[in-house]
Copies of this chain bind each other. A is one copy, B any other.
């Protein structure tokens, strides 16, 4: 009573052992439920630990075991509306397993990506969830044997969680065809990333097959359309748009509105990503949904499995996308 909870400091394992009248080793075994400890002793130790409010010092544990039960999440840009939901689910899923998450944002620069990874590795994270900014294997020399899960990219060395973008691109194109459109423009997002390119390429392919591809341009990942794109969008050459990213699609809607065109009466639009903005627009943006929430959860599951079994064979998980109909698709206007 007077000796136990004194000293103001957080109680250490030694304090627990002392108070319980056992050795530090026994206390450790009891608390971790390993080794051979008598039933009575175990209960007693647990009880004392609870009474003292003992919390193991994770730094010490980490140093001894080499495991921090922390993981790192490396994202290109937190303010990109696609990522917060992903991060949220990663954090939650990790918490379920008593892992904490260092979140890092690399602002689109490979150097920042490397710096972030370095810092995390030095901190001793048990694994990394990495959404690379491009197709390069930027972290190749850094990671050593560290478990890494790569999102939405290809990588020969790591577990992968990907999206069936082809099917998404096709769905969008087919939906517009089915609505009766025959002059459809395609706007792709960044072309330096394969998964992004493919979205639009598979759209374009479908459209070509139906002889319905009006044009295929591309635009940076941004709400603002580049002049050439803005022009094409509004010059009447297409009655519908298949856009590789919601943010660009919203930008397109904006441009059209500014030029007095109506969506979807004059021109139909389908986006890709299902970012939260889309549901808030008026009319709501029809788009291809990516199950980010599940991806986040599955990312930590897969990573934790890899941490537990480093030698298991590499995994590659592909998530299906779905078309979500809102208000931006209609039949083409009568000529």
Which residues of A come within 8 Å of B, CB atoms? Answer: 55-60, 62-63, 68, 70, 77-79, 81, 83-85, 87-88, 91-92, 95, 98, 100-105, 107, 115-116, 118-124, 223, 250-251, 253-254, 257-258, 276-277, 279-282
Contact = CB atoms under 8 A, between A and B. Distances in A.
16 contacts: A55-B118, A56-B122, A59-B63, A60-B63, A78-B85, A79-B84, A79-B88, A79-B276, A81-B81, A81-B276, A92-B105, A92-B107, A95-B116, A100-B104, A102-B103, A277-B280
A248 to B, nearest CB: 11
Contact of A100 (B91, B123, B277, B279): B123
B105 A88 contact: yes
Nearest to A55: B122
Nearest to A254: B282
Q: How many monomers of this chain does the complex have? A: 2
A121 to B, nearest CB: 8
Contacts of A121: 55
With a 10 A CB-CB cut-off, give which of A68, A70, A103 has the most chain B CB atoms.
A103
A129 to B, nearest CB: 13
Contacts of A81: 81, 84, 276
Contacts of A62: 59, 62-63
A44 to B, nearest CB: 23
B124 A59 contact: yes
A280 B81 CA distance: 12
A102 B101 CA distance: 6
B85 A84 contact: no
Nearest to A116: B95
Nearest to A283: B257
Contacts of A115: 95
A58 B70 CA distance: 13
Contacts of A84: 78-79, 81, 83-84
Given A91-B104, A100-B119, 5 more contacts: A59-B63, A59-B123, A62-B63, A77-B88, A81-B81
